[in-house]
Amino acid sequence: MIPTTEHAEQSVVATLAPVMVAVLCGFVIIGVALPVLPLHVSNDLGFGPLVVGLVAGAQFGASLFSRVWAGSYSDRAGAKRAVLAGLIAAAAAGMLYLLSLAFVTLPTLSVAILLIGRAVLGGAESFIITGGVAWGLGLVDRPHAGKVIAWVGTAMFAAMALGGPVGSILYSSSGFFAIALVTTMLPLMVLAYLVRMPAVPPHPHGEHASFKTILRAVWLPGFGAALASIGYCAILAFSSLFYTEMHWQPVWMAFTAFGVALMAARMSAGHLPDRFGGARVAFVFVIVQACGLLLIWIARTSLLASAGAALAGFGYSLVYPGLGVEAVSGISPKNRGMAMGIYTAFLDLAMAVGSPGLGWVGGHAGLRAVFLTGAVIVACTAGIAIKLWPKHRPVA
């Protein structure tokens, strides 16, 4: 006889499967483009680093500015509908990619269309991940909120890890056309799969809490998650440069170690925030994350640096879902989409500010100092987690 807890675990996994498929799809199409966009804009269209940066950054800027809209739409129209809208927008972004290829002989027009496509994809990502988390929270019981946030996030990281190599292979074999085609077709295939899946009822009527009220309830865990995400910025943006400077191979090992450890931790320990409390789990795991970054800082071999990256990934794994549990703990179901949109926007802001900030540190004090700075900032999250233990935040 299978224990009741195991039955419950399997039930939660089965219930969340459609949501995880949607998130996996949304981030695979983001991941396939990331390594090849600079090549396409530079080699195929002939533009320099500034335009490459604009095209790459358009998605993330659009994601940041569409988070709250995505959350509000999810609450009022339904989380499932928000995910479906995100998938349709992602397919539209793919069509804009295809359209841009029709004008490669007019590079300025081609890159302008591509820029619009990237912005549309950024909005699509907001709707998919914000609606996906809200959908998952509505499908399972409230005590499983930590699992929802952890496992949906795991699908996101898995997709990013899968998308990079797949995108490189597609681009090498068929050029940017293959990337555009995948971006168009994959969301439509997932859309057909999700149409018949159960939805959670929207809350179109009745009083919804104001943006200011929800921000007041969510800002502290959101700020803590943003600080912890600076460590993710350090590894994502600077680990390969650090490995190159130290003549260590392969240069992608730190990011891979970080991602593998993060996914393993979330799959094996994603239940801990629900069981012991989000703030307490975030406190313990953020200390582990900071120690991992310090290990990279002192490392004199690639093995030790990679071990530090794995430790940092293991620690970061439950900081976001742990603080996410605190963010939604006092939020009524009709406002959860907005709450998760605002909470996730703090991470967008951290990525937007953290990478150039750490770059300034690296330029003045060397790349090794990036990881020390990241560790110090990450450790500040522990103080926020302690402050969140006695919850006196307003309920929205």
Reported as a single tens digit per residue, the pLDDT across 355-385 is: 778 888 888 888 899 999 999 999 999 999 9
**Residue 1 above 60 pLDDT?**
no
The residue ranking higher by pLDDT, 139 or 174, is 174
Structural contact between residues 54 and 184, judged by C-beta atoms closer than 8 angstroms: no
Q: How sure is the predictor about 6, in pLDDT bands with cuts at 50, 70 and 90?
A: low
Which single residue is written with the structure tokens 């295809």?
A: 98
The Cα–Cα gap between 66 and 61 comes to 9
Cα 3 off chain centre by: 33
Does position 15 have pLDDT exceeding 80, yes or no?
Answer: no
Stretch 53-82: mean pLDDT, rounded? 79
Which of 23-37, 221-235, 374-388 has the least mean pLDDT?
A: 23-37
* Number of neighbouring beta carbons within 10 Å of residue 394: 11
Which helix or strand (DSSP H or E) is residue 147 part of? helix 145-174
Residues 243 and 54: their CA atoms lie apart, in Å, by 26
Residue 39 CB coordination number (10 Å): 15
Q: Helices (DSSP H) in the chain: which residue ranges?
A: 4-33, 37-39, 49-77, 79-101, 107-139, 145-174, 176-194, 211-245, 253-269, 272-276, 278-298, 302-316, 319-329, 336-365, 367-388
Contact 270, 148 (CB under 8 A): no
Nearest 5 degrees, angle CA 392-CA 395-CA 396?
150
204 has pLDDT over 80: no
Mean residue pLDDT across the chain: 82
Q: For domain 210-396, say whether CATH 1.20.1250.20 is its number.
A: yes
Q: Which of 184-188, 226-230, 266-270, 298-302 has the lowest mean pLDDT?
A: 266-270
Across 58-77, b (16+ Cβ under 10 Å) vs e yields bbbebbbebbbbbbbbbbbb
Q: From 1.20.1250.20, 3.30.9.10, 1.20.1090.10, 3.40.47.40, which CATH number describes the 1-196 domain? A: 1.20.1250.20
Our CA angle for 152, 154, 158, nearest 5°, is 125
SS3 content of the chain, % helix, strand, coil (to 5): 85, 0, 15
More confident residue, 78 or 60: 78
How confident is the model at residue 180, as a pLDDT?
94
Instruction: Flag whether pLDDT at 216 surpasses 70.
Output: yes
How would you class 306 by CB atoms within 10 Å of its CB: exposed for 0-12, middle for 13-18, buried for 19 or more? buried
Q: How many CB atoms lie within 10 A of CB 189?
A: 12
Output 376 or 215, whichever has higher pLDDT: 376
The pLDDT of residue 392: 44
**What mean pLDDT do residues 232-255 have?**
82
> How far apart are alpha carbons 265 and 32 in whole angstroms?
25
pLDDT at residue 78 is higher than 70: yes
Which residues lie closer than 8 Å to 289 by C-beta, 6 or more apart?
Answer: 228, 231, 311, 312, 314, 315, 316, 319, 378
Q: Residue 160: its pLDDT value, please?
A: 63
Mean pLDDT score, 319-348:
79
How far apart are the C-alpha atoms of 350 and 353, rounded to whole Å? 5
pLDDT exceeding 90 applies to what percent of the chain? 29
The pLDDT assigned to 2 comes to 43
Highest-confidence segment of 124-133, 164-173, 183-192, 290-299: 290-299
Q: Residue 367 has what pLDDT?
A: 87
Q: Which of 83-97, 159-173, 313-327 bottoms out in mean pLDDT, i.e. has the lowest?
A: 159-173
Question: What is the C-alpha separation between 210 and 331, in angstroms, rounded?
Answer: 12
Question: How long, in residues, is the chain?
Answer: 396
pLDDT at 391: 53
**Domain boundaries of the chain, sorted by first residue:** 1-196, 210-396
Per DSSP, the three-state class of 51 is: helix
Span 186-211, average pLDDT: 74
What is d(CA 183, CA 192) in angstroms, rounded to the nearest whole number?
15
Q: How far apart are CA 376 and CA 369, in angstroms?
A: 11
Half-sphere exposure for 197 (CA within 13 Å, toward CB):
25
- Count of CB atoms situated within 10 Å of the CB of 210: 12
Cα of 155 vs its chain's centroid, Å: 9
Per-residue pLDDT for 243 more than 90? Answer: no
Confidence bin at 348 (pLDDT 50/70/90): confident
Q: 0.75 cut: is pTM over it?
A: no
Residue-level pLDDT at 144: 63
Residues with Cβ within 8 Å of residue 64, at least 6 apart in sequence: 345, 348, 349, 352
Provide the pLDDT confidence category of residue 162 given band limits of 50, 70 and 90. Answer: confident
The pLDDT value given to residue 10 = 55
Fold agreement (1-196, 210-396): yes
Asked if residues 113 and 100 have their Cβ atoms less than 8 Å apart, the reply is yes
Does the pLDDT value for residue 387 go beyond 80? Answer: yes
